[in-house]
Structure 1
Amino acid sequence: MHQHRKPRTQSVFTQRAVRVGLFAAGAAGLATAVPAQAATGTPQHAAVATDQTFSRADFRHHTQTRDSFTVRQFGTVNAASARNQANAVGVGCSVDDDCRSVALSFQIVTMAGEHTHLTAVNRGDAVNQHCDGCQTLAGAYQFVVSTPRPFTLDEETQRRLADIHQRLDALTRSTLPAADLKTQADSLAAEVNTVLHDAVANAPKGDQPPTVTLHRHLDGWPAH
């Protein structure tokens, strides 16, 4: 099988400390998450969120684009697991009969606790199979909001995020070249990052300051 895969500029699985006691290893249609308890502050021992977006373009369906924008508010937890994944596949097209496959996944996870242990995976994977001249793009953006005390996103923050979600939908449906689409997706991610930083500015204080961490992974073909 003839298969093209763009060389990765970073490891799919990365691991780093987000804050003392909180570690990140750092997709969406299918999702599972423990209901948020931040409003009551009731402790949760563990919380799980899985979000995945998948698109496949081929000679029958030359264009397929998918995106997702999910918000998971875990509340107070001792441990959490978050996985965000975007997969785009182009199959069986040619330069004269090209295909376009785009998958973008934005995942926002909020949690509270002084020493929460987080395992976060963020992955974007684009693959072309017998698809010369095709545009295939997968972008995964994962935002982890960690606060020492229980915290929920207020209505204004949710309104701003909903507006970005609508613009992500429009961008995914657009016919922009892959390079321009990447740039604009990054721009929307930067807006999300700003909104979340604004939101935690007034979050209840603790021994550790609130943090917002962005994991970004883009994969595409052609590489330019």
Structure 2
Amino acid sequence: MNAHLSRHFLRVGLLAAGLAVAATGPAQAAEAVAITHDGVRTTADHRHHIDHRDSFTIHQFGSVAAARADNRADARSVGCTADDACRSVALSFQVITLSGHDVRLSAVNNGHAVNEHCDGCQTLAGAYQFVVSTAAPARLTADAQHRLADIHRRLDTLSASRLPAADLRRQADALADEVKALLSQPTSLTAAHPARPSVKVHRQLDGWQH
């Protein structure tokens, strides 16, 4: 192997090693690259008329140079009839905390619902992504994590409910508003010099009710 190829493979190896850094706790170095992917998928059909799942994940990256976060919710209803309707609900909440200056962030958030030959079916996919940015390294307090766990429990109850799709959408949005309000409070984070964090919310709801 010539020297040029050796240097090429070395660069590729170092890049792969950098991209492999992904953790739910704080990153150890500001040069770290954090990567995470969360999501849920549901399918209801004539064999399994009801399928509901939800996800509520928290990733605390600490100081990073770059981060990629993917969050997806996919719901599908297939081949049911108005007299024997299906219900498919997928809800995914993703919370990301990170710190640093000029962090290169790629955030992807997708909710997608599909009805295929499914008269009378209710299908809802909701993807909610919360990105909390601070200048100095910070972590969620124990109290904030406890309150987020309570919201998670209510999300579990909501996704398993038989509420009409329109009501379910409104209540999912209400829970998302609670998460944003909580994360926007400086007291929700531990830091040497607490300051109001920047909270960006990405929301995509897609639903069908035939």
TM norm structure 1 = 0.79
Per-residue displacement from partner, 1:27-68 (whole Å, max 9, x unpaired)?
Answer: xxxxx9424226xx6324200010010010000000010000
Identity among equivalent pairs (%):
54
Aligned twin of 2:51: 64
Matches within 5 A, 1:168-183: 168-183=155-170
Distance in 2 between the 1:33 and 1:45 partners? Answer: 9
Per-residue displacement from partner, 1:59-102 (whole Å, max 9, x unpaired)?
Answer: 00000100000000011000000000000000010111100000
Q: 1:219 aligns with which of 196, 206, 209?
A: 206
Distance in 1 between the 2:38 and 2:124 partners? Answer: 17
Distance in 2 between the 1:201 and 1:54 partners? Answer: 31
* Alpha-carbon contact 1:37-1:43 (below 8 Å) kept: no
Aligned twin of 1:160: 147
Per-residue displacement from partner, 1:121-157 (whole Å, max 9, x unpaired)?
Answer: 0000000111111000000000000001100001000
* Alpha-carbon contact 1:200-1:210 (below 8 Å) kept: no
Aligned twin of 2:88: 101
* Alpha-carbon contact 2:143-2:188 (below 8 Å) kept: no
Q: 2:60 aligns with which of 73, 77, 100?
A: 73
Distance in 2 between the 1:50 and 1:194 partners? Answer: 24
Q: 2:99 aligns with which of 112, 118, 137?
A: 112
Aligned twin of 1:49: 36
Distance in 2 between the 1:138 and 1:158 partners? Answer: 25
Instruction: Please state if 1:91 is matched with 2:60.
Output: no
Distance in 1 between the 2:30 and 2:25 partners? Answer: 10
Residue 110 of structure 2 aligns to a residue whose secondary structure is strand
CA RMSD of superposed structures (Å):
2.0
Kindly tell me the number of residue pairs found equivalent between the two proteins: 189
Aligned twin of 1:126: 113
Distance in 1 between the 2:160 and 2:188 partners? Answer: 34
Distance in 1 between the 2:25 and 2:188 partners? Answer: 20
Distance in 1 between the 2:48 and 2:186 partners? Answer: 41
Letter in 2 for 1:154: T
Whose relative contact order is higher, 1 or 2, with alpha carbons under 8 Å and at least 6 apart? 1
Aligned twin of 2:23: 34
Distance in 2 between the 1:137 and 1:189 partners? Answer: 16
Unaligned runs of 5+ in 2: 1-20
Q: CA deviation at 1:209?
A: 6.2
Distance in 2 between the 1:77 and 1:92 partners? Answer: 46
Unaligned runs of 5+ in 1: 1-31
